[in-house]
Amino acid sequence: MSTTSTRWNLVVSSNTDTSLRQFLASESGGKKGDLSRFVEEAVKERIYDLTAQAIKQENASRTPEEIDEIVEEALAWARRP
């Protein structure tokens, strides 16, 4: 986790809460901070997946050659002094 934190108040079903807490207890003994770390990792993964899906949809009409050109252009920009 980053050095600064924000507190969230979340509402989940009792079944989800129980299942997650049992999972965390079986994986790491249910140490302090496990729930926060799990939620943060899950949110980051979901954002990554949704972003990747959006990019795939955006590029669905492009040819592999066009995508290669775009990637090369971005790499050239990133490598410039």
pLDDT in tens, the chain (81 residues): 557 999 999 999 999 999 999 999 999 888 999 999 999 999 999 999 999 999 999 999 999 999 999 999 999 999 998
What is the tens place of the pLDDT at every residue in 44-61?
999 999 999 999 999 999
Dist. CA 34–CA 6, nearest whole Å: 16
What does the pLDDT read at residue 17?
A: 96
| pTM value > 0.85 | no
User: What pLDDT, on the 0 to 100 scale, is given for residue 29?
Assistant: 87
